[in-house]
Structure 1
Amino acid sequence: MHTRRHLLALAAAAAIAPRAAAQTPADQLVLLGTGGGPTPKALRAAPAMALMIGGQLHIIDAGNGVARQAVLAGLPLKSLAHVWISHLHSDHVADAFTLPWLAWAGALTTPVTVHGPKGMAAMAKHWLRFAKTDIDTRIADEGRPDLRKLLGVAEVQPGVQLRTGALTVTAARVAHPPLTDSFAYRFDWAGKSVVYSGDTAPSPALIALARGADLLVHEVMYLPALDRLIASESNAATLREHLIASHTTAEQAGEIAAAAGVKRLLLTHFVPGGDASVPDAAWVDAAKRAFSGEVIVGRDLLRVAL
């Protein structure tokens, strides 16, 4: 029979254990949102991916609702250190600054850098004007540190963006017309490598960036379903031409993975992302036409082993 003192000790140990585990979360990748395009979708959240590396949280693209997706995934927002924005389309940048703002309203007290294309610094300036009343109120009323002193912005150019500890982050400019500045990112650390394509048509720069990577996370379109989706649009031909020029089909994603010699291909940013009639096998079969490695069909909150 347990004594009261023993039961209290067990309860104390149980209370301490989760906090101790949360202090050093394991390295992990979580897809937070896998839908492509700005239209909200019932089936998939807006584009975002999380990498937990060395106890620091990196969010790659920040579509609307990313903070809640991170919480649903069990990721500690107080560990947010870097936000990486591939380009300035709304579905990728909507919550670039809202994410650290909401993290700061919780337990975040450490610096966060938002990395993104030219225009990111101007966006931050205007966003801070928008958030001024809330920031000032919470500093005075709740004793929080000044978010403006924690928030940094770094505008991206091709090449190495960050070296910290064992982690190196490298960017490459990819093809996503009409935007000139659209970037893919590569994360190398502790013998691991993950590449995120961002939005892009097939791009030699991406193939070079992804060479030999353990995992390539790539946007994807499925043309048969896309053609059904836009068939009734008056501008169907023009819209299709734009999508083909700016994005990558499932077959092409497989070709890129094969050309880069990556080990695994993870599909995300599905276009169309709201069509439940397209089975996972359709995406896999298309990518497998050129790529013999493992193909993973992404879904919201999918955690991928690294």
Structure 2
Amino acid sequence: MALRVSCAALAMAAMWMAPLSAPALAQDAGEAAATVQWVTLGTRGGPVASDTRSQPANLLVVDGMNYLVDAGDGTAGQLAKAGLPTAAIAAVFISHLHFDHTAGLAGLLGLRWQTNAPRPLVVYGPPGTEDMVEGLVASMVPGTTAGYGVPGATERNPADEVRVVELRDGESVAVGAMRVTVRNNTHYSFAAESGLADRFESLSFRFDTPTRSIVYTGDTGPSPAVEDLARGADLLVAEMMDVEFTVAAVRRNSPNLPPHIASEMESHLRGHHLVPADVGAMASRAGVGALVVTHFVGLEPGEDGHLAYLRTIAESYDGPAVIAGDLERF
């Protein structure tokens, strides 16, 4: 079993991954992209920041258009490493409103304003996205009003440079050359009577492009809806956590966390995320062509025990699978 897992991982790396180079990405809509690419800009799940991997963010390149899929802290810097300016992004897809998936959006909006991006940024996301973006734009007003401190400077309203499209479970929308479909997953489990289930959703995305179908789970627990969304996809990009490892990291990072807050967070981590066995089962039942694990918190490559994650996945899923690092492309 160990040999089979190792070979699958090595084959995935050889066939699907290559060192990222700026010429492979589309700088503007006029450049034709040779292939559809998925780039893992940031692969470390929150809430504890890492000194080796950036927060969750991905770049999807389709027919010369660049799209962000989630925008965790550090996204602008990761784009720079990938050879793209912030102005080259046409749209952002936000899976849910947790800060490790959205903290980089403020920087993206501000830097695009400063560099006079040629078109408004479209932000697609779940209910609540419009309120979030409205708040981010409001936070930009002092900085955009002061501008560069030049008398008589032309005023530009930051609200004019972003547009929000909120999506709900089951909706589908055409974006450029692709069809994007969303499902509400199990990252939230609000009681129906609370009203919060109507106010908020956590979305998984399916991107059907002219040549490939890619499904991004975002953050979720086991979910029949996500399995259905992923049915027959060429590539499944799935979150995964070593929950025991993550709980221990949170406790180390926040030793003074009030007990009730610590209990709520631990309950969330255990009930609303995927562990390796869940990921393998989802990939197998959905019949996907290949699996990329991201939003990963656990033992890093090279550490004793890391290969066990892939072994567990392979107990259910016999296709190529890899745990991705930052700035890898598929």
Please indicate the TM-score interval, normalised by the length of the shorter structure: 0.7 to 0.9
Q: Which residue of 2 aligns with 1:162?
A: 173
Q: Give the percent of matched residue pairs that are identical in Structure 1 and Structure 2.
A: 34
Determine the C-alpha separation between the residues in 2 that align with 1:53 and 1:30.
12
Q: Which residue of 1 aligns with 2:216?
A: 196
TM-superposed deviation, 1:97: 3.7
Q: Which residue of 2 aligns with 1:286?
A: 312
Q: Which residue of 2 aligns with 1:302?
A: 328
Worse-superposed segment, 241-250 or 276-285: 276-285
Q: Does 1:136 align with 2:152?
A: no
Q: Which residue of 2 aligns with 1:264?
A: 290
Long gaps (5+) in structure 1: 1-17
Cα separation, partners in 2 of 1:169 and 1:243, compared to 1, 3 Å: same
How many aligned positions are there? 286
Amino acid at match of 1:215: L
238, 241, 248: which is aligned to 1:221? 241
TM-superposed deviation, 1:253: 0.3
Q: Does 1:33 align with 2:42?
A: yes
Cα separation, partners in 2 of 1:25 and 1:133, compared to 1, 3 Å: farther
Q: Does 1:47 align with 2:56?
A: yes
Asked if the contact 2:47/2:100 (under 8 Å) is kept, the reply is yes
- Asked which structure has the greater RCO (Cα within 8 Å, sep 6+), the reply is 2
Amino acid at match of 2:168: Q
Q: Which residue of 1 aligns with 2:4?
A: none
Q: Does 1:177 align with 2:179?
A: no
Asked if the contact 2:48/2:249 (under 8 Å) is kept, the reply is no
Determine the C-alpha separation between the residues in 2 that align with 1:122 and 1:230.
28
Q: Which residue of 2 aligns with 1:69?
A: 78
TM-superposed deviation, 1:160: 3.5
Asked if the contact 1:77/1:107 (under 8 Å) is kept, the reply is no
Cα separation, partners in 2 of 1:273 and 1:126, compared to 1, 3 Å: farther
Determine the C-alpha separation between the residues in 1 that align with 2:283 and 2:219.
15
Q: Which residue of 1 aligns with 2:124?
A: 115
Worse-superposed segment, 169-178 or 216-225: 216-225
TM-superposed deviation, 1:196: 0.6
Q: Which residue of 2 aligns with 1:12?
A: none
Cα separation, partners in 2 of 1:164 and 1:21, compared to 1, 3 Å: closer
174, 180, 186: which is aligned to 2:206? 186
Q: Over aligned residues, Cα RMSD in angstroms? A: 2.9
Amino acid at match of 2:321: V
Determine the C-alpha separation between the residues in 1 that align with 2:172 and 2:144.
29
Cα separation, partners in 2 of 1:101 and 1:254, compared to 1, 3 Å: same
Normalising by structure 2, we get a TM-score of: 0.77
Q: Which residue of 2 aligns with 1:13?
A: none
Q: Which has the larger radius of gyration?
A: 1
Asked if the contact 1:44/1:273 (under 8 Å) is kept, the reply is no
Cα separation, partners in 2 of 1:54 and 1:278, compared to 1, 3 Å: farther
